[in-house]
Amino acid sequence: MRPGQAEQADGGGIIVKSTGLPVIIWVMKNYLDLTGRVALVTGASSGIGAATAAVLADLGASVGAGYFHNEKGAAQVAKGIAKAGGKVLAVRADVSRAEEIPALVEQVEREFGPIDILVNNAGSLIKRQPMRELTEELWDEVLDLNLKSAAFCSRAVIPGMIERRRGTIVNVVSIAGRNGGGPGAGPYSTAKGGMIALTKALAKELAPHGVRVNAVSPGVIDTPFNAAFSTPEMIASYVKGIPLSRVCTSTE
pLDDT in tens, 163-205: 999 999 999 999 999 999 989 999 999 999 999 999 999 999 9
CA distances in angstroms from 87 to 31, 83, 116, 122, 168, listed in the order given: 20, 10, 15, 21, 19
Please report, in angstroms and rounded to a whole number, the separation of the first and last CA atoms in the chain: 42
What pLDDT is recorded for position 251? 83
pLDDT, average across residues 109-134: 97
pLDDT, average across residues 93-116: 98
Span of 17-26, 52-61, 199-208 with lowest mean pLDDT: 17-26
Between these two residues, 181 and 5, which has the higher pLDDT value?
Answer: 181
CB 89 within 8 A of CB 115: no
What pLDDT is recorded for position 5? 45
Span of 11-25, 59-73, 215-229 with lowest mean pLDDT: 11-25
pLDDT band at residue 38, thresholds of 50, 70 and 90? very high
Q: Determine whether domain 32-239 maps to CATH 3.30.360.10.
A: no
Conformation bin of residue 113: beta by default, left when phi > 0, alpha when psi is -120 to 50: left
Q: Supply the pTM of this predicted model.
A: 0.85
Query: In the predicted model, what is the mean pLDDT of the chain?
Result: 89
pLDDT, average across residues 231-241: 80
pLDDT, average across residues 19-32: 52
Between these two residues, 133 and 19, which has the higher pLDDT value?
Answer: 133
Q: Where are the domains of the chain?
A: 1-29, 32-239
pLDDT band at residue 30, thresholds of 50, 70 and 90? low
List residues with catalytic annotation.
188
pLDDT in tens, 12-24: 444 444 445 544 4
Nearest to 89 by CA among 118, 57, 120, 58: 57
What pLDDT is recorded for position 218? 87
pLDDT, average across residues 26-36: 72
User: b vs e for 144-182, b when ≥16 Cβ sit within 10 Å of the residue's Cβ?
Assistant: bbbbbbbbbbbebbbebbbeeeebbbbbbbbebbeeebb
Question: What is the rounded distance in angstroms from the CA atom of residue 224 to the CA atom of residue 229?
Answer: 9
Q: In sequence order, what are the residues at sequence separation of 6 or more whose Cβ sits closer than 8 angstroms to the Cβ of residue 5? A: 16, 17
What pLDDT is recorded for position 29? 46
Using the predicted structure, report yes or no on whether residue 2 has a pLDDT greater than 60: no
pLDDT, average across residues 147-155: 98
Between these two residues, 10 and 227, which has the higher pLDDT value?
Answer: 227
